[in-house]
Amino acid sequence: MTDERQAGGKYGEGLDGRIPPNQAVTRKFPVMTAGKTPDIDTAAWSFSIKSGPRTLASWNWVEFNALPQTRWRGDIHCVTRWSKFDTDWQGVTIDDLLASAGIEPPSPHTLFQGYEGYSTNLLLSDITDGKAMIATRFDDQPLTREHGGPARLLVPHLYFWKSAKWVKAMQFTQKEESGFWELRGYHQRGDPWAEERFS
């Protein structure tokens, strides 16, 4: 990233359509956490896919790391108006999770849950076809605790509140549910290009 690009300005002039409306570029990686930062030992960690209360599949840390690993490099956008370019993540795509468990999605609606109680709803169409992963590495290092380690959801084409940190489950729900921020007035989908900030 060049300094000219940084100086592209608050409203992103000169960024070649790369920055969504009313976002500003940051080089830092701000930490945005609503509550306490949980400390989850990988020995006690698991990730589950559920349908309502029923567990369809579950992986412990060793099993999870044996799944196909994907790298994604690109830009992320927080609803508090910062965007960060060229972030570098590794993890397991939702496609690979569903395929490796042989799961036929029972519903187009999902709710992701964090270990500390956070949640966020997502349409299946926003997390499949390579659009999302459960990320375990950032910049070739294990994901730090403050950014959601051991593992977080990454859905980079939507505002970053959708990328649940300390993720423990993906739950299919019969209808659209609202997560932590969606219940507090944030948009059900959160497309930064359409400025879907609030509902």
Ligand X SMILES: Nc1nc2c(c(=O)[nH]1)N[C@H]1C(S)=C(S)[C@@H](COP(=O)(O)O)O[C@H]1N2
Binding site for ligand X (CB under 6 A): 30-34, 78, 114, 116, 118, 147-148, 160-161, 163-166
Contact of residue 30 among Mo ion, ligand X, none (CB under 5-8 Å per partner type): ligand X
In the list ligand X, Mo ion, none, the entry touching 163 (Cβ below 5 to 8 angstroms by class) is: ligand X
Pick the closer one to Mo ion by CB: 78 or 103: 78
Residue 102 C-beta: closest distance to ligand X, Å = 28
* Least gap, CB of 15 to Mo ion (angstroms): 21
Nearer to ligand X, 66 or 73 (CB): 73
For residue 71, the Cα-to-chain-centroid distance in whole angstroms is 14
Please give the Cα distance from 41 to 168 (Å, whole number): 12
What are the tokens at 35?
Answer: 């509550």
What burial class does residue 114 get, using C-beta atoms within 10 Å of its C-beta: 0-12 exposed, 13-18 middle, 19+ buried?
buried
**Residue 3, SS3 per DSSP:** helix
Q: Which residue has the tokens 């949640």?
A: 119
161 is a site residue for Mo ion (CB under 5 A):
yes
Other C-beta atoms within 10 Å of 179: how many? 21
DSSP letter at 56? E
Task: Answer with the entry of ligand X, Mo ion, none that 177 interacts with (C-beta below 5 to 8 A by kind).
Answer: none
Distance (Å, whole) CA 95 – CA 99: 6
Per CB under 5 A, 180 contacts Mo ion: no
CA dist., res. 7 & res. 16, Å (int): 13
Minimum separation from the CB atom of position 49 to ligand X (A)? 18
Interacting partner of 147 out of Mo ion, ligand X, none (Cβ under 5 to 8 A depending on kind) = ligand X
User: Which of 24, 67, 78, 103 is in the footprint of Mo ion by CB under 5 A?
Assistant: 78
Does the protein bind Mo ion through residue 112 (CB under 5 A)?
no
**Contact set with Mo ion (CB under 5 A):** 32, 78, 161
